[in-house]
Amino acid sequence: MPSGLLSFNQSLEYLGITKQELKKLIRQKKIIPYRIGGTYLRFKKEDLDVLRSHLERKIRKTYWLDQPPEKSALSERLADFWYFNNLYIFSAVIILVLLVIIFR
């Protein structure tokens, strides 16, 4: 057997998925099996590598989406508020001072 081909069970272990999941991927044509002797299924290691990286990305993406946002301290929130709004705050203060001077 060429070293670039893995059996069905080896593929399951390599991908870390169940039989049902692998059969579903075959039905969806996300991975192409090769028949040897008409009965034995084999998978190219390169194809499995591509699928594995896709599955890992999907898992990572789902993991990050499932994580609740981190709670930030009040000081960090105030620092961010000041950083993004300091121009508007200074402008408002200057306008108020000018209005007080004008209408006094």
The answer on 11 and 38 residing in a single domain is yes
* In a domain? residue 32: yes
Say which CATH number the domain at 18 has: 1.10.1660.10
Q: pLDDT of the chain along its 104 residues, tens only?
A: 456 889 999 999 988 888 998 899 889 988 888 888 877 789 999 999 988 888 888 777 666 666 676 777 889 989 999 999 999 999 999 999 999 999 98
What's the domain range around 62?
A: 5-66
**Structure tokens given for 55:** 């599955």
Report the number of distinct structural domains present in the chain: 2
Residue 26's SS3 state is: helix
Give backbone dihedrals phi and psi of 42, rounded to 5 degrees, phi first.
-135, 150
Nearest to 48 by CA among 32, 69, 29, 61: 32
The answer on 11 and 50 residing in a single domain is yes
* In a domain? residue 72: no
The answer on 82 and 61 residing in a single domain is no
The answer on 54 and 26 residing in a single domain is yes
Q: How many residues appear in the chain?
A: 104
* In a domain? residue 101: yes
The answer on 88 and 58 residing in a single domain is no
64-87 residue pLDDT tens:
666 676 777 889 989 999 999 999
* In a domain? residue 73: no
Other Cβ atoms less than 10 A from the Cβ of 22: the count is: 21
* In a domain? residue 48: yes
* In a domain? residue 71: no
